[in-house]
Amino acid sequence: MKIKTNNFMHYNMSVVGGIFGGFAVCNLGEVFGNAQTLNLISIVYNLVYCDFETLLLRIIAALLYFLGFGAAVIIPKKLRLHSDAISIVIDIIAFVILAFMPKNASLLISLYPIFFATAFQWTAFEYIDGYSSSTIFSSNNYRQFMTSLLEYIIDKDKSRKTKIRVFGLTLLYFHLGVALSCALTLMFGRLSALIGIAALIPSVCVLIKKRIIRLRKIKSNQ
């Protein structure tokens, strides 16, 4: 039951990660804000071409990303809070900021909530069935899905079925989130970010259920 619950949350958060990604691409200059590759390359580019104003904004973005996964490591250890619950709270705050961010704000500054929230989420929901699988971008999930599928087809290795399922479903749910975000952007513009809050409801329900079960166990042991 525990594994199934964790898997459910992982796939649900993959939808949320897709919503973040779809929102950024549709609303913020087609820039994918869930990862740092482009931003880190652009830091070097801005440095070489002496664009120091943009360079500063990009360095802040990189620092926010670092603070995101840094906080996901430190908070559970120092404050004894559950990183999955904190990630959901951070995501909700990020979606609200994105929905009501002034349209004349710099695209980079508009991406700041995504940088921090997705970095935290990546660290909080990193593993599923023993595999490292990101809920915020697709590159490694795509590679793992395709290579395990080919190995299964060529070698008839049935042990690959779990890996195929894990990475295949993560890909599917992530891109369902992208599709949902893009479709709602056509109707509601930046307010479409609020759908991310609705998408978090299943995971919130799981956390509440877990909390109730823990409290019952505590009472039964007293």
Residue showing tokens 């603070």: 67
Q: What's the whole-model pTM score?
A: 0.93
Q: What is the pLDDT of residue 5?
A: 86
Per residue in 153-179, pLDDT (tens digit) is: 998 878 789 999 999 999 999 999 999
Report residue 208 CA to chain centroid gap. Answer: 21
Q: What is the pLDDT of residue 86?
A: 96
CA-closest candidate to residue 120, choices 73, 162, 59: 73
Q: Higher-confidence residue: 154 or 222?
A: 154
Rounded CA separation 221/213 (Å) = 12
Q: What is the pLDDT of residue 216?
A: 79
Per-residue pLDDT band at 1 (split at 50, 70, 90): very low
Q: What is the pLDDT of residue 155?
A: 86
Rounded CA separation 46/93 (Å) = 30
Per-residue pLDDT band at 53 (split at 50, 70, 90): very high
Q: What is the pLDDT of residue 121?
A: 97
Q: What do you get for the CA distance between the two ends of the chain, in Å?
A: 24
Judge contact between 61 and 117, C-beta under 8 A.
no
Per-residue pLDDT band at 217 (split at 50, 70, 90): confident
At residue 206, does pLDDT exceed 50? yes
